[in-house]
Structure 1
Amino acid sequence: MGMLRGGTVRRRFTILYAAGFLGSGAVLLALTYLMAGTRVTSVAPGQPRDGGTAPPAAEQRLQDLQRQLAELPAQQNHRLLVGSLIALLVMAGVSLVVGRVLARRVLRPLRLITAATRRISADNLHERLAVDGPVDEVKELADTVDGLLERLEASFAAQRRFVGNASHELRTPLATMRASLDVAVAKPEPAAQTVVLAGRLRTELDRVDHLLDGFLVLARAQHGALPDRAVVPLGDLVAEALDARAAGIAAKALTVEGGGAGLPPVWVRGSAALLSRLVENVVDNAVVHNREGGWIRVATGREDGEARLVVETGGRVLDQGQVDRLGRPFERLGTDRTGSEEGSGLGLSVVAAIVAAHGGRLALLARPEGGLRVTVALPGAAGPDGTGGVTA
């Protein structure tokens, strides 16, 4: 019973089929053995017709024949029993092979459904199993999975449309509030409290605008629409992102290693706008969530046909379980990140969505000595000179 409860379905089916075949064979052999049994009646030696006695030699010969005749059924039963045991052992091996073949054949449609379901993700929910064949339990299961995928596709599409539409619609009242602030401050001799309040409101409006921009990029990346594909130099994007954050780097007295013009030429194909936002978010995350006087290490390279960007930072030792969740929207590490006035919690989730839209991989690793290591792997492309850059 323990073997039936554990293991794979194929193993359980194999054991059940083999047990059925073996049990049937054992019953058949037992019936054959019982029905083949015979009863032999010993016949007393006859008396001579003339009333005399038989010669001693003939009498001995007759007794030997009768003894052999009496032992013959036992010998036949012994041979039949031995042959039955041998046949039962052979049937045991045959039943295991036949059971495994039947189990594989019975489970083949389920394996095909499982493999097709694994290939379907949030990026290709439009695909269906579309199993052909008679209307049986397997087809009903496949149709049920197709119905579930259809509902998921509709739900994901509605979510993306909502995020995109809401982000666009909210920009109008934000622009109105900005204009109202500008009008209030532009009045002759505005009150000091008005100027201070306007400054604070502008800061909050900038944060909301940045958040909405992140929503738009996230919705676009998750939608998978990349109409502006081009060959983009990854090193140039890193240099531009570092230059844009130069003030923040200087304010925290951060040391940057490997950035600037020293990066090797590595090319990727994709949306220039989204790839630029990807690199900006990775660099921005390294700057915003770094400690005073810390360091940032940036490296690019090419390995196994992939273009790679690696950004490392120092700091306290992080929990890998919490780091694994940073690719989700609004996930942060601890109260220091939650209380950050600059972070929105969308940075690395946007990175994860852009990487997925380009068919790449994102790896977030908590460094054993402290800090975070972000590795972005994207399909490499040939540069203008026909090469893909250096090999890491």
Structure 2
Amino acid sequence: MRTWRLPARTARLRLTVLYGGMFLLSGVGLLAITNLVGLGGTRVSRSAPAGVPPVEPATLAAATERIARLQAQLADAHAAQTRQLLVGSAVALVVMGVVSVVLGRVVAGRVLRPLRMIITATRRITADNLDERLAVRGPDDEVKDLADTIDGLLERLENAFAAQRRFVADASHELRTPLATMRASLDVALAKPEPVPEQTAALAHRLRAELDQIDRLLAGLLTLARARHGSPPGRTALPLGRLAAAALDDRAAGLAAKELTVDASGVAGGAWTRGDPTLLTRMVDNVIDNAVTHNHRGGWIRVAATDGAAAELVVETGGPVLDQAQVDRLARPFQRLGADRTGSGDGSGLGLSIVAAVAAAHGGALRLRARPDGGLAVTVSLPPAEVPAEVPAEVPA
């Protein structure tokens, strides 16, 4: 059953009620004054005119009767005039009510027109075009002050995003260089002809593993920063299904080591979308890595790519029943379910947060669902794209 809802209490509605009420009260006052003046000026005088000579009784009786008839006719005419005036006033009041609402809405629209222009321009400005400004012209009133304040805020946001981009560019070089130096020093120390003590070699291998972990963590942080605050993604047409198939092929050794069963029959190279090839490839790789890493030996993975209102990549895994409240937090950085529930404690905790950031940067979304039978279902939805006549070079064969 369709329920009737009140209109939203917008500023235009409130101004319409205010202006319409003012116009309506003005009309009511005007009609009231008109009625008072019209009704007050129709009183009948019953006194005889001065200077009229007295008449005979017979003639007086006839005159009295005639006067009575004239007074009755005059009273009837006065009553009819009064009724007509009241009906006309009621009709005029209804018309004034409608006109008051229309005039109130028109006046409210003209008053709020600069604000609507500011709202439209502000919604059009995103993280990709922070260099745009409202630049409202007009008198120095409250509306122009509001627009100038928003322009100042946009300028500060642009500077903040530019600082983020500079940090990403600088950190990519400044932080990776010392890691590469330390890794090379360990390799040189282990490659010396003199025999290396077993304890020293074990320590060096452990340090090398930690350096690799730090390198992966740094790469994840840089990718996350680039997806959230980097330059706008490119617009190359790519199929999510084919990217997922390539990711599964690259991880064939890990799948075999864990004895995982993979069902990729629903991939078939579908789910075309547009975006940055590097970021989309990293996004799909992270989804597949999450399915492989956080899976039990002998488990299963099901991958499907579908076209429709959105290009969707769905990756499902088996396992124990998970808590949906905890699953919802997995898209945040450094959030894990724990080795006792996912089968592995490896990973930096950035995989799904990178997936969420890349999907959001391309106008999509990440959905995580705890399967009722156990395990996790990861769905990435992106805006669809038409299949190009020529497959781009970035698309895996």
When normalised by structure 1's length, the TM-score is 0.82
Aligned to 2:33: 31
> For 1:224, which of 213, 221, 231 is the aligned residue?
231
Partners of 1:92 and 1:335 in 2: CA distance: 71
Aligned to 1:361: 364
Cα separation, partners in 2 of 1:272 and 1:142, compared to 1, 3 Å: same
Aligned to 1:390: none
Q: Are 1:135 and 2:140 counterparts?
A: yes
Partners of 1:322 and 1:125 in 2: CA distance: 35
Shift of 1:235: 4.4
Structure 1 segments unaligned to the other structure (5+ residues): 388-392
| Deviation digits for residues 42-61 of structure 1 (CA, Å, limit 9, x no counterpart) | 11489984663133333311
Aligned length: 380
1:365 aligned partner, one-letter code? L
Q: Are 1:212 and 2:212 counterparts?
A: no
2:365 aligned partner, one-letter code? L
| Deviation digits for residues 287-339 of structure 1 (CA, Å, limit 9, x no counterpart) | 122334322111234335x6543222234455556555544433444686899
Shift of 1:144: 1.6
Give the conservation status (yes or no) of the 8 Å contact 1:47–1:53: no
Q: Are 1:164 and 2:172 counterparts?
A: no
Shift of 1:112: 2.7
| Deviation digits for residues 180-219 of structure 1 (CA, Å, limit 9, x no counterpart) | 3234434533222222222221221111101111233334
Q: How does 1:57-136 map to 2 (within 5 A)?
A: 57-69=62-74, 73=78, 75-136=80-141
Partners of 2:169 and 2:138 in 1: CA distance: 41
Q: Secondary structure at the match of 1:7?
A: coil
Partners of 2:338 and 2:58 in 1: CA distance: 115
Give the conservation status (yes or no) of the 8 Å contact 1:296–1:311: yes
Q: Secondary structure at the match of 1:99?
A: helix
Shift of 1:175: 2.0
1:190 aligned partner, one-letter code? V
Cα separation, partners in 2 of 1:16 and 1:320, compared to 1, 3 Å: farther
Give the conservation status (yes or no) of the 8 Å contact 1:164–1:215: no
Aligned to 1:53: 57
Cα separation, partners in 2 of 1:337 and 1:171, compared to 1, 3 Å: farther
Cα separation, partners in 2 of 1:319 and 1:134, compared to 1, 3 Å: farther
Aligned to 1:193: 199
Aligned to 2:278: 273
Cα separation, partners in 2 of 1:16 and 1:339, compared to 1, 3 Å: farther
Give the conservation status (yes or no) of the 8 Å contact 1:290–1:315: yes
Cα separation, partners in 2 of 1:319 and 1:21, compared to 1, 3 Å: farther
The alignment's C-alpha RMSD in Å is 3.5
Aligned to 2:3: none
Aligned to 1:40: 44
Give the conservation status (yes or no) of the 8 Å contact 1:233–1:268: yes
Partners of 1:215 and 1:169 in 2: CA distance: 14
1:166 aligned partner, one-letter code? A
Shift of 1:11: 1.7
Task: Extract structure 1 runs of 4+ deviating beyond 6 A.
Answer: 45-48
Q: Secondary structure at the match of 1:310?
A: strand
Give the conservation status (yes or no) of the 8 Å contact 1:120–1:127: yes
Shift of 1:256: 0.9
Partners of 1:263 and 1:51 in 2: CA distance: 120
Partners of 2:121 and 2:342 in 1: CA distance: 40
| Deviation digits for residues 113-161 of structure 1 (CA, Å, limit 9, x no counterpart) | 2233223322332333333333332222222222212211211221232
Shift of 1:99: 1.7
Aligned to 1:380: 385
Q: Are 1:242 and 2:244 counterparts?
A: no
Give the conservation status (yes or no) of the 8 Å contact 2:323–2:370: no
Q: Secondary structure at the match of 2:58?
A: coil
Partners of 1:239 and 1:51 in 2: CA distance: 124
